[in-house]
Each structure stands twice: as C-alpha cells, then as structure tokens.
Amino acid sequence: MSRERGRPRTFDAELALDRAVDVFWKHGFQNASMQELTEAMGLSKPSLYAAYGDKEALYLKALERYVAGLIARHAGALNEEKDGRRALEGFLRSLASMLADPALPGGCFIINGTADSGGSTMPEALEQALRAALQGTESMVLQRLLRARADGQLPPGANAEDMAVMFSSLIAGMAVLAKSGASKAKLSSAVGAVMAAWPEV
C-alpha cells in the first residue's frame, strides 16, 4: 500500500506561505482575493485548500508565521541587551526599519489587519487572533520594562504598565505612518522623541 495517497506535493510549503503573508500584509483579509493568493503562491485553488484549508485558515497560518518572524527578527534586540533603555530603543528602531523597508508590503501585518476588524465579512476568529497578537507585543514590552525596573534601571515608582501602553501606541502609530509612505528617518525621529520620556533613576 502506498504511504501517501495521490500526487505528492511538489511545492515549497513555507515559501508559498511567505507569499501568502505578503498578500495579506498588503491587502488585509477582506481585500485579498483568492486569485491574488493562488497566483502569488503558485497554487491552484484545490491545491491551496488541500494544503492550508480555506482563506480563513490560511490567514491564521500567515499571521502565525508573521508573528514568529517578528519575534525572531526583533525580540533579540529587546531581550539580549542588558540595559533596559537601550533594549527598548533598539527594539523600536529595529521595528522602524522593518516597517519602512521598501522591499516589504509596508506597515505591520497585524496593524493593517486590525483595520479590517468590525467589518461584516471579518470572521470573529481572525479578530481575536489579531487582538491576541497586539496584546502579545505589549506584553513582551511590559515584561522587559518590569525587568528594567527590577534591575534598578527605572525608578521604583515608574508605572511599567503605562509605559508599555505608550510604547505599543508608538509601534501602532509608526505602522500607520509607514503604510502611508513615511520614511525610516521619520519613524526614527518618533522613536527618539518617545525615548526622551524614559524616566531618570
């Protein structure tokens, strides 16, 4: 008996998923058509459904891949640097470079996707996944701020929760600016302005 029924897959599943990430990143869930997805991924509709499920399932897989890549590329700057202030600044500048990279679709997959939320054709599961991704970034920043406070790099009374909201708001704002064509220099200036609010010990 054959170990695998039907024709074996002859495509690169990870590369195809990366191309789906690009389409959803650029257009969001609602505006990304199946034709665009199949053309970008080099798959027929039946092959796409067989490999990834329906459009909603594919979007969730694309979001997971984007988040994993985001953490891999940028979390190092946040967690490996011992100085809390330099860690946050390095993390934000790393994100600014990505958000404004002309080789990428522009802005942030998560923020762009959140703009779809509330629409009648946006599945609730996707809205929940996007909210969880946003909260995950804020939580990661908060944990680093709490570590900085414990290490004496923030005043004992510094409100790490409020600071995490401030940094998360900056990230969201940079994403929107980048989507509208803002340069890396403009985003970097915003990072510098916000970092100036880091409280002295």
Which CATH number characterizes residue 182's domain?
A: 1.10.357.10
Q: For residue 93, is pLDDT > 60?
A: yes
Number of domains in the chain: 1
In a domain, 4, yes or no: no
The two three-digit tokens of residue 130, written as one number: 């996007």
**Is residue 42 classed as helix, strand or coil in its secondary structure?**
coil
Which residues span the domain enclosing 115? Answer: 13-197
Q: What is the pLDDT of residues 134-182, one digit of tens each?
A: 999 999 999 999 999 999 999 999 999 999 999 999 999 999 999 999 9
The answer to whether the CB of 90 falls within 8 A of the CB of 75 is: no
In a domain, 6, yes or no: no
